[in-house]
Amino acid sequence: MNRILTLADIRLAAEALARVAHQTPLDRSATFSGMVGAPVYLKLENLQKTGSFKLRGAYNKIHQLGTEEKSCGVIAASAGNHAQGVAYAASHAGIRSVIVMPETAPLSKVSATRGYGAEVVLTGTSYDEAFARAKELAELQGLTFVHAFNDFQVMAGQGTIGLEIIKQLPELDTVVVPIGGGGLIAGVATAIKESAPHVRVIGVQASGADGMARSKACGALTMTETAMTIADGIAVKSPGDLAFEVVKRYVDDIVTIDDEAIAAAILMLLERAKLMVEGAGAIGLAALLNGKIFARGPAACLISGGNIDVNFIARIIERGLVKTGRRVIITTRVIDRPGALQKLLASIAACRGNVLYVHHDRIQHDVPLGQAKVQVSLETRDEGHTEEILTALQNEGYCVTKN
């Protein structure tokens, strides 16, 4: 008989994790509930030790290894979060850990993994390339391989999140779970469906890395040729076959969402909920906010991790401000004489526009003699405020365009 993941496996994992992992909050968000039209709760695994849910599965796997396996040390392949979970769990057990990460992994995750005591090997440009190298090193050095998602002990550890959600919100109607390789949703779905079978389990994948969604749609394990998404934690080409069996049995639906929506959700979580969340962690909320999932009643959205590079956060903030009309560049011309630029800026200030920088050019070939081309980067309240400023400048005789 084929091995299957069971509720008993997850409860055993919960016992192992009781004194190690945090029982993370399940917080109701008034803001997102209002936007979705149903109660929305955020399961904050970004507040877990190491910054993501991955500690749960990694610790449970390493905890259940035999003495000989532990003495050999462990190895894993990861884009970042599993790496930190394995490194932390290995250090806790007092054993060696080697982590193979893609060369494109965020520096913050590489540094954190080393900080937890792991030896880090950087190779390839994707999780799949790192995985292949990790398997080679496991064979060469006799290390015990700890898979990021396609492992019963790992899936059982992740499933403890489902037990917590049911306990924290008995009236739960829907749980929304990010999917990469499928280990997280396999564990959570097993815990939910075997405890409260009426609860819907909905998975969410990035449009550019939708292997599990394709697999469920056609009923057979399918891999994608590429895995391109800003949600690096779920950028997986090949879903796990063990996880896929659970998905077929227990997951009600899988939806996909694009990177623009994920980025917007990251910014909204930062601005409205004061939460720093990575792309994989924000994807479930993105699906809810964009109507990909209809919430019939209380919905728990799993915020799977918060390990996001601060430079990337900065780019998302800048892009989000532009997209929502709160950051704009306007271009106009002024007479090239003293006081003309000051007059333009005073007009903008009178409309309460905040000037970020000014570029003043009188020598471009398309600028008539005696005039200067001026570009002004502005911070405004919203698109309406921007239009108010443009109208005021046009009424004063300026020919203004918005870039």
pLDDT at 126: 77
Superfamily of domain 326-402 in CATH is ACT domain (3.30.70.260)
In this model, does residue 81 exceed pLDDT 50?
yes
In this model, does residue 192 exceed pLDDT 90?
yes
- The pLDDT tens digits for 14-55 are 999 999 999 999 999 999 999 999 999 999 999 999 999 999
Same fold, 7-50+152-320 and 54-145: yes
In this model, does residue 386 exceed pLDDT 60?
yes
Taking residues 2-6, report their average pLDDT: 85
Residue carrying the six token digits 């894993």: 76
Q: What phi-psi label fits residue 397: left (phi over 0), alpha (psi between -120 and 50 degrees) or beta?
A: left
Taking residues 208-230, report their average pLDDT: 92
Which residues does 341 contact at the CB level (< 8 Å), separation at least 6? 334, 358, 360, 372, 374
DSSP, res 234: G
Domain ranges of the chain: 7-50+152-320, 54-145, 326-402
Helix (H), strand (E), coil (C) string for 273-321: CCCCCCHHHHHHHHHHHCCCCCCCCCEEEEECECCCCHHHHHHHHHHHH
CA atoms within 13 A on the CB side of 199: 26
**CATH dotted code for 7-50+152-320:** 3.40.50.1100
Which amino acids are annotated catalytic? 54, 304
- The pLDDT tens digits for 137-149 are 999 999 999 999 9
Taking residues 252-264, report their average pLDDT: 95
Which residues does 333 contact at the CB level (< 8 Å), separation at least 6? 367, 371, 372, 373, 374, 398, 399
Are 177 and 204 contacting, i.e. CB atoms less than 8 angstroms apart?
yes
In this model, does residue 106 exceed pLDDT 80?
no
- The pLDDT tens digits for 300-348 are 999 999 998 888 898 888 888 888 888 999 999 999 889 999 999 999 9
| Residue 48 to residue 134: CA distance in whole angstroms | 26
pLDDT at 79: 75
Which residues does 152 contact at the CB level (< 8 Å), separation at least 6? 3, 5, 9, 242
Domain 54-145 falls in which CATH fold?
Rossmann fold (3.40.50)
In this model, does residue 1 exceed pLDDT 70?
no
Q: Would you give the distance in Å from CA 24 to the centre of its chain?
A: 17
Write down the pTM of the prediction.
0.87
Taking residues 218-222, report their average pLDDT: 93
